[in-house]
Chains A and B, each alone.
Chain A
Amino acid sequence: KNEVEQSPQNLTAQEGEFITINCSYSVGISALHWLQQHPGGGIVSLFMLSSGKKKHGRLIATINIQEKHSSLHITASHPRDSAVYICAVPNYGGSQGNLIFGKGTKLSVKP
């Protein structure tokens, strides 16, 4: 069974700062998910990645399969980026669809 560790648990930043959130897991996988949970509770899938790097707007996700580690970066952070960011991986490794989740990183960006 996979285990997921996220850090930091809480993060406060000033608008414009570069943000990094880290995720590590214990069992080899073929894909990792980054999710965003808004203060109202809705969950949005940000990225699903298997290798290398993906970029969407100011968000960048990287993964190192050998080291079992992924990072989510936010460039030029904005108060609207305030949310909980969650890393998720297949529960039993490989390419299974059912996910196990990190505890999340609560990001607060101050104007």
Chain B
Amino acid sequence: GAGVSQSPSNKVTEKGKDVELRCDPISGHTALYWYRQSLGQGLEFLIYFQGNSAPDKSGLPSDRFSAERTGGSVSTLTIQRTQQEDSAVYLCASSLAQGPGTQYFGPGTRLLVL
């Protein structure tokens, strides 16, 4: 079946612009995670959803970052007033349920802020 998909695959934007990143999880997966990998850095957690609610937003680096999930499926990560330090690969993963389940990763969105 189809895996996790993300769009766009690449995004170049100017500093100060807003961007939206989209994640389509595997059908039936109730848990959805957003992670970020900056150049030369490890993966870091941003936010996760169980259904449409986000029990843990602790990883969001600032109030310029927000995310929503509708219908228990598609999720959008929005970055307002982008800064150069936001440049990174943004990865989405989904799993069947919250808890220690295998997470399936999407291909990521490579964001470059000029």
B98 interface residue per 8 A CB criterion = yes
Q: How far is the CA of A93 from the CA of B26 in the complex (A)?
A: 26
Residues of A with C-beta under 8 A to B107: 41-42
**Chain B residues within 8 Å of chain A by Cβ, number:** 26
A-B CB pair tally, cutoff 8 Å: 62
CB distance from B53 to the nearest CB of A (A): 13
Residues of B with C-beta under 8 A to A20: none
> Which residue of B45, B50, B104, B108 is within 8 Å of A99 (Cβ)?
B45
Q: How far is the CA of A100 from the CA of B44 in the complex (A)?
A: 7
Main SS class of interface, B:
strand
Given the known A-B contacts A95-B100, A97-B99, A98-B48, are A45 and B42 also in contact in the complex, defined by CB atoms under 8 Å?
no
> Which residue of B42, B56, B102, B105 is within 8 Å of A98 (Cβ)?
B56
Given the known A-B contacts A43-B91, A50-B100, are A97 and B31 also in contact in the complex, defined by CB atoms under 8 Å?
yes
Please give me the residue from chain B that is nearest to A48 by CB atom: B102
Contact B44 A33 (CB under 8 A): no
Interface residues of chain A, those whose CB is within 8 Å of chain B, are: 29-31, 33, 35, 41-45, 48, 50, 86, 88, 90-91, 95-104
Interface residues of chain B, those whose CB is within 8 Å of chain A, are: 31, 33, 35, 42-45, 48, 50, 56, 59, 89, 91, 93, 95, 98-105, 107-108, 110
For the complex of A and B, list the 9 residue pairs with the smallest distance between their C-beta atoms, beginning with the closest.
A31-B100, A43-B105, A101-B43, A97-B98, A103-B42, A98-B48, A95-B99, A98-B45, A95-B100
